Amino acid sequence: MPDDVTALSRRSLMMAGGATLVGIGSAAAQGGAGQGTPGPQRPVDTGKVENGKVTFPNWRGPSDRPSAPPPAPLPPAERVGFAVVGLGRLSLEEILPAFGACRKAKPVALMSGSPEKAKAVAAQHGIRPEAVYGYDGWDALARNPEVKAVYIVTPNAVHRDQVIAAAGAGKHVLCEKPMAVSSAEARAMIDACAKAKVKLMIAYRCQYEPYNREVVRLARSEKYGKVKLIEATNTQTMSLPEQWRMKKALAGGGALPDIGLYCLNGVRALTGEEPVSVQAQIHSPDDDPLYREVEETVAFTLRFPSGALALCSTSYGAHETRSLTVQAEGGAIQLQNAFAYQGQRLFLSHREGKAEAKEERVLGEKNQFALEIDHMATCILEDRTPRTPGEEGLQDQILMEAIYEAARTGRSVALKEPERSVAKDEKDRGGTARDGKPLDRTRGPEPEDAG
């Protein structure tokens, strides 16, 4: 076909299509039917506004999952402003990018010991140069009305002083795990925030991640009967002895407080109970300079009041594995990549007649950091207790000290009830009761569903 004929044909099609779209749009604007439209426009594809949010009816058939509703973020001026304290790998690779998926929070300030790096990062994220502070800039940060909360993302040993400084500046605090390097420091942090009347939340991201939440729901519902055994493994390999995680003065310990904490906190969150005893073993290679100050491998067993046993293992010297398995009376639940930033896969096994049924449950993947940040923002906006408040972090610190003691002595260590529980009124209550004992004693209400 000649080029001029081809061009004419394409031009004719485009003009015809444009006229059709204009006709449909005009008919929709008039609330009636136009030529070529089969009646009044309905919100099947255009949607409708309900309570300030755009909604669409489900367009998929009954055999497919309905699509998630469109995001409904707060207007930028109404979102909670956060100052990110510490600009290491986690902040730059995960936390600051996650604000792009947040609906209720925004980054408005930075605090760093590296002015050049802070200046570059501020420009990347649209943060005003005057809202960039050094680690001695708490007084100036206190005077910034845009900052409602700070996210502490620094080495473990400086969490206490920075949380106390943030509380003194009148700012709510989201602090990375582990909360501190000792239970004494954790208590001081809780007390400082309570005195300043600001909220303190520990960044246990997995408690906000959809797949981990589904495992908790399945286990607590006793879908497959009572839980008998839980296996939690979190391992990876390390190579740089000069990294701060390999320095006891900064990290407080090795694999246990860094990645083993996910196992400890994960099984506690799963059952909602607190363990009554712990046994543990620790091993570090004698000839490896990586482990001159901190431990390489830890294995520990927790016994819960319901009779469930949790077998947990963590290591800095084993190939990356991040798994959570629940063995119940009538079935099993396995979560692969349970403690990873992404890639979770959930498998269920149970009897079905004379066969063993194995199925994969697929959920919508969401940014864990955005979920936890938005939860903190919700708690600030609605004056709620966070799901993972300071009391949750304190309890893990107490239990890690017991794990170290059990490994040192070679004996089982009996554990007490949590020394501090969150408020249990209607607004702040965590879990319901089991066998007459309340669950989630160190946790606030369930986090909101992100849709």
Instruction: Indicate which residues carry an active-site annotation.
Output: 177, 262
For residues 310 and 230, the answer to whether their CB atoms sit within 8 Å is yes
d(CA 182, CA 167): 19
CB-count exposure of residue 281 (10 Å: 0-12, 13-18, 19+)? middle
Other beta carbons within 10 angstroms of residue 324's beta carbon come to 28
Strands 355-361 and 413-414: unpaired
d(CA 373, CA 100): 11
Q: Where are the alpha helices (DSSP H) in 31-154?
A: 43-46, 89-90, 96-98, 115-124, 138-142
Three-state SS sequence of 125-161: CCCCHHHEECCCCHHHHHCCCCCCEEEECCCHHHHHH
Long-range contacts of 249-253 (CB under 8 A, 24+ apart): 249/157, 249/293, 250/155, 250/156, 250/157, 250/158, 251/155, 251/156, 251/157, 251/181, 251/294, 252/156, 252/157, 252/178, 252/180, 252/181, 252/182, 253/181, 253/294, 253/295, 253/400, 253/404
d(CA 146, CA 125): 15
For residues 314 and 298, the answer to whether their CB atoms sit within 8 Å is yes
Q: Where are the alpha helices (DSSP H) in 150-258?
A: 159-168, 183-196, 210-221, 248-251, 255
- Sorted by sequence, the CB contacts under 8 Å of residue 349 that are 6+ apart come out as 331, 332, 334, 356, 357, 358
Strand partners, 230: 310, 326
Residue found under tokens 């000649």: 2
d(CA 90, CA 154): 9
DSSP label at residue 2? -
